[in-house]
Structure 1
Amino acid sequence: MSENGINLSDLKELFVKYYSESDHEIRIFTAPGRVNLIGEHIDYCGGSVFPAALTLSCTAAVRLNGTDWIRLGADDLEDVYTFSLRDPQAGKRLKWGNYQAGVINALLEEGYLIRGMDFLFTGNIPFGSGLSSSAAIELTTAVAAATLSENYEEKGLDLIRMAQLGQLAEHTFCGVNCGIMDQFASAMGKRDHAILLDCASLNYKYVPLALGDYTLVLANTCKKHALGASEYNKRREEVAEGLRRLNAALGENRANLCDFSEAEYAAAEARLGPDKVKDRVKHVIFENERVKRAVSALENGNLKAFGTILCEAHASIRDLYEVTGPELDTMFEIASHTDGCIGARMTGAGFGGCTVNIVRKESAEAFIRDVGRAYTQRTGIVPEFYLCTAGDGARELF
Structure 2
Amino acid sequence: AGELQDAGFRLTGIDMVIHSTVPIGGGLSSSAALEVSSALAFTSAAGVEVERKQLALICQAAEHNYAGMMCGVMDQYIALFGEHGVAVRLDCRSLEHEAVPLSAGTAKFIVCDTGVRHELASSEYNKRRAECQEGVRVAGRVLDSAPIKALRDVTTADLPDLEPELEPVVFRRVRHVVTENARVLEAVTAMWARNHLALGALMDASHDSLRNDYEVSCSELDTLVEIAWGQGGVYGSRMTGGGFGGCTISLVGADKVDTFCENVAHGYEA
What secondary structure sits across from 1:160 in the alignment? helix
Partner of 1:257: 151
Inter-partner Cα distance in structure 1 for 2:54 and 2:241: 22
What one-letter code is carried by the residue in structure 2 that aligns with 1:267?
D
Matched, 1:242 2:135: yes
Higher strand fraction (1 or 2)? 1
What secondary structure sits across from 1:120 in the alignment? coil
Matched, 1:149 2:46: yes
Inter-partner Cα distance in structure 2 for 1:285 and 1:124: 33
Inter-partner Cα distance in structure 2 for 1:169 and 1:373: 40
Following superposition, the deviation at residue 375 of structure 1 comes to: 1.2
Following superposition, the deviation at residue 251 of structure 1 comes to: 4.4
1:262-312, Cα deviation, whole Å (9 max, x unpaired):
001223322223x30000000000100001111101101211111111100
Partner of 2:160: 266
- More relative contact order, 1 or 2 (CA 8 Å, 6+ apart): 1
* 1:3-42 alignment, distance < 5 Å: none
Higher helix fraction (1 or 2)? 2
Inter-partner Cα distance in structure 2 for 1:212 and 1:187: 25
| Shift in alpha-carbon separation, 1:160–1:227, aligned structure 2, 3 A | farther
What one-letter code is carried by the residue in structure 2 that aligns with 1:140?
S
* 1:179-328 alignment, distance < 5 Å: 179-251=72-144, 253-273=147-167, 275-328=168-221
1:169-208, Cα deviation, whole Å (9 max, x unpaired):
0000111101111101111111111100011111111111
Asked if the contact 2:207/2:238 (under 8 Å) is kept, the reply is: yes
Partner of 2:29: 132
| Shift in alpha-carbon separation, 1:163–1:227, aligned structure 2, 3 A | farther
Asked if the contact 1:287/1:313 (under 8 Å) is kept, the reply is: yes
Inter-partner Cα distance in structure 1 for 2:121 and 2:65: 15
What secondary structure sits across from 2:46 in the alignment? coil
Question: Which deviates more, 298-307 or 203-212?
Answer: 203-212
Inter-partner Cα distance in structure 1 for 2:252 and 2:194: 15
Partner of 1:106: 3
The two structures have a TM-score, normalised by structure 1, of 0.66
Following superposition, the deviation at residue 232 of structure 1 comes to: 1.2
Asked if the contact 2:4/2:58 (under 8 Å) is kept, the reply is: yes
* 1:19-168 alignment, distance < 5 Å: 104-149=1-46, 152=48, 156-168=49-61
1:125-165, Cα deviation, whole Å (9 max, x unpaired):
11121111111110011111112226x2xxx2312211111
Asked if the contact 1:227/1:349 (under 8 Å) is kept, the reply is: no
Asked if the contact 2:121/2:242 (under 8 Å) is kept, the reply is: no
Inter-partner Cα distance in structure 2 for 1:266 and 1:149: 54
Partner of 2:237: 344
Following superposition, the deviation at residue 211 of structure 1 comes to: 3.8
What one-letter code is carried by the residue in structure 2 that aligns with 1:300?
A
Inter-partner Cα distance in structure 2 for 1:195 and 1:180: 13
Asked if the contact 1:249/1:272 (under 8 Å) is kept, the reply is: no
Inter-partner Cα distance in structure 1 for 2:36 and 2:9: 15
Cα RMSD of the aligned pairs, angstroms, is 1.3
What one-letter code is carried by the residue in structure 2 that aligns with 1:265?
L
Following superposition, the deviation at residue 225 of structure 1 comes to: 4.9
Inter-partner Cα distance in structure 2 for 1:126 and 1:282: 30
Identity %: 38
What one-letter code is carried by the residue in structure 2 that aligns with 1:272?
L
Asked if the contact 1:225/1:349 (under 8 Å) is kept, the reply is: no
1:221-254, Cα deviation, whole Å (9 max, x unpaired):
1112534432111111100111111222214641
Inter-partner Cα distance in structure 1 for 2:118 and 2:44: 32
Asked if the contact 2:136/2:151 (under 8 Å) is kept, the reply is: yes
Q: How many residues matched?
A: 269
